[in-house]
Amino acid sequence: MRVGVPREIKPDEYRVGLTPTAVREYVSHGHEVYVEAGAGAGAGYPDEAYARAGATILPTADAVFATATLIIKVKEPQAVEWARLTKDHILFTYLHLAPDPAQAQGLLDSGCAAIAYETVTDPQGGLPLLAPMSEVAGRIAVFSAGETLLKHNGGMGLLISGVPGVPPARVAVLGGGVVGMNAARMAAGLGAEVVILERSIPRMRQLDDMFQGRILTRYSTQDAVEEEVLKADVVIGAVLTAGASAPTLVRKSDLSRMKKGSVLVDVSIDQGGCFETSRPTTHNDPTYTVDGVVHYCVANMPGAAPRTSSEALVHATLPFGLQLADQGLDALKKNVHLAKGLNVLKGEVTHPAVAEALGKPFKDPYGAWK
């Protein structure tokens, strides 16, 4: 298989789809790897490191797409990249199609097979390729919230940890999954008062055991969310429905009753956001204010730590990527968990939640494979 790694072109995105270490693994399996010049520079991987690992360095993204069959990226393809995809390509990357009909249509028009990291599953029902970036995003969310709370950044001027004699910030985390757990861990570690709102009682028991009473847990009802949001100095949105748009948990009408200078951090923004007033922002311009409440809605939070994020992501994607390189789309027939990642194939939407969110017909690919 010819494997291609283009440079990421989304603003402020410095992660890379394969590290030199991963390239060596693909080459050892007999595959050819083509890396766009400078693709790993932002994460600290020079072209020379890729060449030593066995990759061929190509000067442009056009050359990578034209040469390779399996395209491995990090972020969803941008419009200029849709035009480079053909029916012969397999695209393996984060897609987040539910809130992005333009991208979905671009992929459908290309005829490619598009496999989304965020809907690949594991035997326990988890999302193993989303988990490492969720870990990073949950931790960064707390650092970003603490910085945004400072007065010169538009916040109320509160130190998230407090000091002796002065109470710390109260942090409400909406969702107790991987993002929420990591956010809670960081916030509690800094000394904040933390409450996690979650709908799974077994998960709340796990969190209670994990944190040994250092955080509060509450069953997530509309009343509970409203009550905690109004108490909070920081609200971290960490909810996820695989393949679908995130549910809206905080309405615009709630903002006028929240503390002035409080902070909303929407980690769910890739899936449309869980606050009604959320819109994607960038690392260069991360915040905006609505009704006195500061919103931090950076759509690629892990991109701020590209070295850590790239390595963590590649460790998770490597086994699946090697299966695709070794077997092509036949890998989906043999690995039901990888098959769950298939969102688009030959101009059809092949994931039910994505199809429902986009209002598109759902095409079950399995019948055609039997």
Which sequence positions are flagged as catalytic? 96, 270
First to last CA, the chain: 24
Kind and range of the H or E run holding 299 = none
Take residue 212 and report the two structure tokens written for it.
């040994």
Helix, coil or strand: residue 195:
strand
Is 179:141 a contact under the CB 8 Å cutoff?
yes
| Rounded-to-integer distance, Cα 101 and Cα 105, Å | 6
Take residue 163 and report the two structure tokens written for it.
């000091």
Kind and range of the H or E run holding 339 = helix 336-339
| Rounded-to-integer distance, Cα 216 and Cα 192, Å | 11
Kind and range of the H or E run holding 331 = helix 330-334
Take residue 195 and report the two structure tokens written for it.
């409450």
| Rounded-to-integer distance, Cα 196 and Cα 225, Å | 10
Helix, coil or strand: residue 33:
strand
| Rounded-to-integer distance, Cα 170 and Cα 232, Å | 5
Take residue 140 and report the two structure tokens written for it.
């960064």
| Rounded-to-integer distance, Cα 233 and Cα 40, Å | 38
Helix, coil or strand: residue 343:
strand
Is 293:255 a contact under the CB 8 Å cutoff?
yes
Which residues lie closer than 8 Å to 32 by C-beta, 6 or more apart? 1, 2, 3, 56
Pairing assessment for the beta strands 287-290 and 293-296 based on DSSP bridges: antiparallel
**Residue 28: burial class (beta carbons within 10 Å; 0-12, 13-18, 19+):** exposed
Helix, coil or strand: residue 162:
coil
